[in-house]
């Protein structure tokens, strides 16, 4: 996705309370090269999947709810579409100047800085919080906003540091459900093997319906 006026997304939500401070909108970008074992969203790996959305459309949708204080970039790998996310952040701030931004990434902060890619550095400059590092199944632990112990929370601005930095070692599973006409979506950081267990339950329900 090279068009900075478009973003290739797996999906988006206009309200979520488990992927960053407060109530936030979320975009799940499409495309990831890591393919981490145990990833809860393998459907976001294929860069050719998902749906293309215009920046203008997304900015209007994601800022509509007055209770939402910011936007979270998840995925997929957000930094693969850094230019588009910069454009989206700027468009959202034109509508809501106090909007805050958080991004998840499989890169470490050190890797992003060493790559010295202009669009990636520009995205970092727009963030209030970065959560970095790949998901490691063998280090799974349900920490605040993270699924494995190697992942870190960086407060890149002071906006949330006072209230949230003391809480980053909190543990527990925080999930929300969101349904559309065809699919039940799970938001948050699930427990280990959650995807496999849900698939098993869905298969059993499907068989029950067939036999009923």
Instruction: Please state the rounded mean pLDDT for residues 6-34.
Output: 97
C-alpha 171/C-alpha 191 separation (Å) is 11
pLDDT at 97 over 90: yes
Q: Is the confidence at residue 11, as pLDDT, over 70?
A: yes
- pLDDT 10s digits, 111-158: 999 999 999 999 999 999 999 999 999 999 999 999 999 999 999 999
Residue span of the structural domain in which 72 resides:
6-211
Cα atoms in the Cβ-side hemisphere of radius 13 Å centred on 51: 9
pLDDT at 34 over 80: yes
CATH code of residue 130: 3.20.20
Mean pLDDT score of the chain, rounded to an integer? 91
Burial category of 58 from C-beta neighbours within 10 Å (exposed 0-12, middle 13-18, buried 19 and up): buried
Entry pTM: 0.89
Average pLDDT over residues 99-111: 98
- Total domain count, the chain: 1
What pLDDT score does 185 carry?
78
Please provide the size of the chain in residues.
Answer: 212
Q: Tell me if residue 202 falls in helix, strand or coil.
A: helix
Judge whether 155 lies within some domain.
yes
CA–CA separation, 177 vs 151, rounded Å? Answer: 24
Q: Confidence band (pLDDT; 50, 70, 90) for 208?
A: low
pLDDT recorded at residue 183: 75
Q: How confident is the model at residue 189 (pLDDT cuts 50, 70, 90)?
A: confident
Q: What is the mean pLDDT of residues 41-57?
A: 96
Q: Is the pLDDT of residue 35 over 90?
A: yes
Q: What is the pLDDT of residue 69?
A: 98
Write out the H or E segment, with its range, that includes residue 207.
helix 194-211
- Judge whether 1 lies within some domain: no
Among 117, 124, 120, 68, CA closest to 92 = 68
pLDDT band at residue 188 using 50, 70 and 90 as cut-offs: confident
With respect to residue 186, please indicate whether it lies within any of the assigned structural domains.
yes
In a domain, 184, yes or no: yes
Give the DSSP per-residue string, 21-68: SSSEEEEEES--S---TT-S-GGG--TT-SEEEEHHHHHHHHT--TT-
């Amino acid at each position: 996705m090279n068009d900075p006026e478009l973003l290739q997304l797996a999906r988006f939500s206009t309200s979520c309370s488990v992927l960053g401070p407060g109530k936030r909108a979320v975009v799940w970008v499409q495309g990831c090269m890591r393919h981490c074992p145990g990833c809860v969203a393998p459907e976001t790996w294929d860069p050719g999947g998902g749906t293309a959305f215009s920046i203008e459309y997304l900015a209007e949708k994601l800022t509509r709810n007055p209770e939402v204080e910011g936007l979270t970039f998840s995925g997929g790998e957000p930094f693969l579409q850094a230019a588009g996310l910069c454009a989206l952040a700027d468009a959202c701030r034109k509508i809501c100047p106090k909007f805050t931004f958080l991004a998840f990434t499989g890169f470490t902060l050190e890797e992003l800085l060493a790559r010295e890619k202009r669009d990636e550095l520009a995205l970092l400059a727009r963030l209030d919080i970065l959560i970095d590092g790949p998901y490691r199944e063998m280090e799974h632990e349900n920490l605040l906003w993270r699924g494995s112990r190697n992942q870190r929370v960086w407060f890149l601005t002071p906006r949330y540091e006072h209230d949230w930095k003391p809480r980053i070692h909190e543990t527990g599973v925080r999930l929300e459900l969101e349904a559309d006409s065809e699919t039940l979506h799970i938001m948050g950081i699930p427990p280990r093997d959650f995807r496999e267990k849900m698939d098993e339950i869905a298969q059993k329900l499907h068989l029950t319906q067939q036999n009923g």
